[in-house]
Amino acid sequence: MLTIGTLSKKTGTKVQTIRYYEQIGLMPEPGRTEGGQRRYDSSQLDRLSFIRHSRQLGFSLDAIRELLDLSDHPNRPCDEADAIARRQLKQVEQRMARLKALRTELKRMVHECSGGRTADCRVLEVLRDHSECLTEHDEIGA
Amino acid sequence: MLTIGTLSKKTGTKVQTIRYYEQIGLMPEPGRTEGGQRRYDSSQLDRLSFIRHSRQLGFSLDAIRELLDLSDHPNRPCDEADAIARRQLKQVEQRMARLKALRTELKRMVHECSGGRTADCRVLEVLRDHSECLTEHDEIGA
DNA sequence: CTTGAACCTTCAGTGGCTAGAGGATGTAGA
DNA sequence: TCTACATCCTCTAGCCACTGAAGGTTCAAG
């Protein structure tokens, strides 16, 4: 029987986050001691590890909910899990493309700044006038 | 004199977002009509364009506040603006590196899934067991 | 039996918006 | 001048995925 603190250490998840996952129904309600403290077993540890690992790979909690559900039904076809992962991959690739454009622009800004007064600062100049940008970039909401 | 809607269209910023920027002190309080509607001039349009462009380049509102402040003082040395941009560039590079690791892992997962039952799904298997990952990845909080 | 680390609940806050309710204003056409 | 209606106003609440703190209780070691 594991305390929430032990689970926290084993998975690198903050205690509050574990309670939060329980609150939103991602983790099941665990057993309790007489005094009301949570006690977990190893299946719950596995589940939390799955969640954490998925989060590290950038899956949303909603996607993780679906993945967990699929994981709980071993006889269903796995197309869906596959689709979720593909979707995630696509998102990652889109974000990378955007970041690449940003990097180009930022590099150029920094490179061109010669260190005088703010009045002549290329960084600020570029920010003032989008038309100075060579690439399209649209980071907002990424 | 521009209405908030015109400003919205010209900068691609939602009306509510403009009001939000005013509320947090990023945009100045504009003049008002007798009836209480906001009216902007071209300097405010410039300021909003600056903000939007900076957001597109991924700067936080706090960073933008600093940049705007620097922009308002043309005689100060521009080291600070430079430093802010460099910091942002560094962040972008770090995020790219993380995303690259994620992409590798996701690609491998998707590639190895042969489309059977969820019980044998490589996607789910990898999520279950971090030790199957070849690269370090730590997307959370990125 | 005492100490104190770890646990409990509840509430509020983060960033950067976004949505909706319910009502007021401004402007173009009849 | 009247009317229609697009646009404006304020205010409140919600999104995601947590994180922190207040104030109190429980558990295990010594």
What confidence score (pLDDT) does residue A123 get?
92
Q: Which nucleotide's C1' is closest to A55 (Cα)?
A: D17
What residues of chain B lie within 8 A of the CB of A79, using their CB? 115
**A138: in domain:** no
- Quick check: B22 pLDDT over 90? yes
CA atom of A13 to C1′ atom of D19, Å: 12
Is any Cβ of chain B less than 8 angstroms from the Cβ of A120? yes
| Residue among B56, B74, B138 minimizing CB distance to A119 | B74
Residue B31: beta bridge partners?
B39
Pairing of strands B31-32, B38-39: antiparallel
**A110: in domain:** yes
Place of tokens 């402040």: B69
Domain-ending residue, one of A59, A88, A104: A59
State the Cα–Cα distance between residues B136 and B133, nearest whole angstrom: 7
Question: Which residue intervals of B14-131 are DSSP H helices?
Answer: 15-23, 42-56, 61-71, 79-112, 122-128
- Quick check: A137 pLDDT over 80? no
Give SS3 for A59: coil
**A31: in domain:** yes
Give SS3 for B57: coil
Q: B136 or A84, which is more confident?
A: A84
Is any Cβ of chain A less than 8 angstroms from the Cβ of B108? no
Average pLDDT for residues B119-130, to the nearest whole number? 89
Q: Which nucleotide's C1' is closest to B63 (Cα)?
A: C15
**B124: in domain:** yes
Domain span holding position B112: 96-132
Percent over 70 (pLDDT), chain B: 96
- Quick check: A133 pLDDT over 90? no
Confidence of residue B139 (pLDDT cuts 50, 70, 90): low
**Torsion angles phi and psi, residue A32, rounded to 5:** -130, 155
The pLDDT tens digits of the residues spanning B38-48 come to 999 999 999 99
Best probe of the A interface among B45, B52, B57, by most A CBs < 10 A, is B57
Confidence of residue A134 (pLDDT cuts 50, 70, 90): low
Find the CATH number of the domain harbouring B18. 1.10.1660.10
CA distances from B138 to A11, A16, B126 (A): 13, 20, 15
Chain A CA closest to residue B133: A53
**B30: in domain:** yes
Q: A138 or A106, which is more confident?
A: A106
DSSP letter string over A47-115? HHHHHHHHHHTT--HHHHHHHHHHHT-TTSBTHHHHHHHHHHHHHHHHHHHHHHHHHHHHHHHHHH--S
B100 with B54, same domain: the answer is no
**B52: in domain:** yes
A52 with A86, same domain: the answer is no
Average pLDDT over chain B, rounded to an integer: 91
**B9: in domain:** yes
Domain total in chain A: 2
Query: Helices A61-71 and A79-112 sit at what angle, rounded to 10 degrees?
Result: 150
The pLDDT tens digits of the residues spanning B47-91 come to 999 999 999 999 999 999 999 999 999 999 988 999 999 999 999
Confidence of residue B114 (pLDDT cuts 50, 70, 90): confident
A11 with A55, same domain: the answer is yes
**B72: in domain:** no
Which ipTM was obtained for this model?
0.85
A88 with A121, same domain: the answer is yes
A53 with A100, same domain: the answer is no
